[in-house]
Amino acid sequence: MSPLIAGNWKMNGLTHSLDELSELARLLTTGEAPRALVVVCPPATLLAAVAAQGASSGIIAGGQDCHANASGAHTGDISAGMLADAGAQYVIVGHSERRNDHAETSDTVRAKAEAAIGSGLKPIICVGETESQRDAGEAESVVAGQLAASIPDAAEQHEVIVAYEPVWAIGTGRTPTLDEISQMHNAIRARLADRFGERGETIRILYGGSLKPQNAREILGVDNVNGGLVGGASLLAKDFYTIISAV
């Protein structure tokens, strides 16, 4: 499978940030052709612009979240259909910052993933343990529970992506060892294969959590790491391109 590198801009980005997107497009089209799918998930205010501006260089637009309902009285929320209408092809669901800051459960995440699939989007479903859960030896069981409850049965027929992000490594500069990443990604692969059979062998598993230019090549070379979900480093074209080029 071709690797996928997704940039999550989080709550960052104004109109002038599209200059970085232009620079990324220049790098992607004038440098060595990337061997990965490149997805940029900006704030919703920039989604349509990213979709339009990135199309000619192969940059794919994605949303950062969606509501489980198609429409209704949900002030401030955005539906999967709205994301698709703005040009998105992917959407992140279940990011730890949503699970923690907005008390989203895995059932909520599954409903959002189902809504995404129903609108023709590919959900990037995030899972990951906290520092206390890892220290207690519960990391694999926590992630297994999130996988079971967050991934809809529709994944058997539709494309979904799993992103493993150890919560304690997001934005902290701390990174698991390569052995720890390998152990978790292999465990996730085994769970996916047990549930979905051959289909589970083809589901991309991304690594996220302080993925940056300095460590990208090593991490992306780990078995069953099929790409990355990049936070802060995706805001700067040069850094993001370096990670993409590490594939």
- Average confidence (pLDDT) over 76-99: 98
Cα(73)–Cα(62) distance, integer angstroms: 24
CB–CB of 45/86 below 8 Å?
A: no
Least confident of 27-31, 66-70, 164-168, 202-206: 27-31
CATH number assigned to the domain covering 4-245: 3.20.20.70
Instruction: Label residue 10 left, alpha or beta by phi (over 0 means left) and psi (-120 to 50 means alpha).
Output: left
33-82 pLDDT per residue, tens: 789 999 999 999 999 999 999 999 999 999 999 999 999 999 999 999 99
Catalytic machinery residues: 95, 165
CB–CB of 24/5 below 8 Å?
A: no
Q: E strands within 113-209?
A: 122-127, 161-164, 205-208
Q: Please give the pLDDT value at position 36.
A: 96
Cα(222)–Cα(207) distance, integer angstroms: 10
Q: Please give the pLDDT value at position 31.
A: 77
pLDDT at 110 over 80: yes
**Element housing 100 (H / E):** helix 96-101
Burial class (CB in 10 A: 0-12, 13-18, 19+), 140: middle
Question: Which residue bears the tokens 């529709």?
Answer: 154
Closest residue by Cα to residue 188 from 204, 172, 211, 210: 204
167 secondary structure, DSSP code: G
Quick one: pLDDT band at residue 161, thresholds 50, 70, 90? Answer: very high
pLDDT at 97 over 90: yes
Cα(116)–Cα(62) distance, integer angstroms: 11
- Average confidence (pLDDT) over 187-204: 98
- Average confidence (pLDDT) over 171-177: 84
Looking at this protein, which amino acid is placed at residue 131?
A: E
- Average confidence (pLDDT) over 152-179: 93
Q: Please give the pLDDT value at position 33.
A: 76
**Residue 30 in tokens:** 């004038």
* Rg for the chain, CA atoms, rounded: 17
- Average confidence (pLDDT) over 154-165: 97
CB–CB of 62/92 below 8 Å?
A: yes
- Average confidence (pLDDT) over 92-96: 97
pLDDT exceeding 70 applies to what percent of the chain? 100
- Average confidence (pLDDT) over 164-178: 89
Least confident of 15-19, 33-37, 119-123: 33-37
pLDDT at 200 over 80: yes
Cα 190 to Cα 122, 149, 160, 204, distances in angstroms: 21, 16, 16, 13
- Average confidence (pLDDT) over 17-46: 94
pLDDT at 141 over 80: yes
In whole angstroms, what separates CA 138 from the centre of its chain?
23
Quick one: pLDDT band at residue 171, thresholds 50, 70, 90? Answer: confident
pLDDT at 105 over 80: yes
**What's the start-to-end Cα distance of the chain, in Å?**
12
Q: Please give the pLDDT value at position 172.
A: 80
Q: Which 3 state secondary structure label does DSSP give 90?
A: strand
- pTM of this structure: 0.97
**Count of residues for the chain?**
247
Q: Got the DSSP string for 120-180?
A: T-EEEEEE---HHHHHTT-HHHHHHHHHHHHS-GGGGTS--EEEE--GGGTTTS----HHH
Averaged pLDDT of the chain: 96
